[in-house]
Amino acid sequence: KDADSLRRQQGFFLSWLSERLDNADLVPQLNRAMCQEKWQEGAVLKRLLGGKDVEHLFREYRDSFSSDHPPSTDDHRRLFQRT
């Protein structure tokens, strides 16, 4: 996959996390933390996720789509229109 496609998928996942965790400020908080703190193997992200495991959340995100293929832009639009 090209870099733009990967960034788009990461953006969709972060958007889903914001919705799932009911935290509209998740992305700005993550950005701020990454500028101000050391990465420390994902400890910053885990803290922002309320201690939840990012791998578990990603599996939940992936499973939120009905098919077994990677979600497309249209899949994401349908997912967020339901909420």
What pLDDT is attached to residue 34?
Answer: 87
> How many alpha carbons fall within 13 Å on the CB side of residue 73?
5
CA 47/CA 24 separation, integer angstroms? 16
pLDDT tier, 2 (very low <50, low <70, confident <90, very high otherwise): confident
DSSP string, 25-73: THHHHHHHHHHHS--GGGHHHHHHTTT--HHHHHHHHHHTSSSSSPP-H
pLDDT tens per residue, range 42-82: 888 899 999 999 999 999 998 887 655 555 556 555 555 54
